[in-house]
Amino acid sequence: GNSVTQMEGPVTLSEEAFLTINCTYTATGYPSLFWYVQYPGEGLQLLLKATKADDKGSNKGFEATYRKETTSFHLEKGSVQVSDSAVYFCALTAGSEKLTFGTGTRLTIIP
């Protein structure tokens, strides 16, 4: 079956630091990959997505590249801000399969 393995947290960084949150996946077929984010007190929301190999999803300064050869979709940001503190979930869907989430990575940015 489909599965997502995420970097365990929590992750604590100083403001303006470089961020990487690792995500690898196992899937049959050709999955679409997603990063969802949950800010404190809010619902999950889509951050970015990529639907085929070598695609790069980007939003709000975050990027992730769909790497089929390494089955990875790592989330990166060059300079994090306090407002980026949240829980980040990697997820995938393959065909009509349901969206499968990783366990989430809690990120805290210190001023």
Decide whether 19 or 102 has the Cβ nearer to other proteins.
Answer: 102
Q: Does 21 bind other proteins (CB under 8 A)?
A: no
Are 92 and 86 in contact by the 8 Å Cβ rule? The answer is: no
Q: Does 99 help bind other proteins (rule: CB under 8 A)?
A: yes
Q: In whole angstroms, how close is the CB of 47 to other proteins at the nearest point?
A: 11
- Minimum distance from residue 48 beta carbon to other proteins (Å): 11
**CA–CA distance, 70 with 55 (Å, rounded to integer):** 14
CA distance 98 to 110: 36
Strands 11-14, 105-110: parallel, antiparallel or unpaired by DSSP? parallel
CA–CA dist 11, 90 (Å, integer): 15
Residue whose tokens read 């300079």: 79
Using CB under 8 A as the binding rule, the residues of this chain from 32 to 71 that contact other proteins are 32, 34, 41-46, 49
State which residue, 4 or 19, has the beta carbon closest to other proteins: 4
Binding site for other proteins (CB under 8 A): 4, 6, 32, 34, 41-46, 49, 89, 91-93, 96, 98-99, 101-104
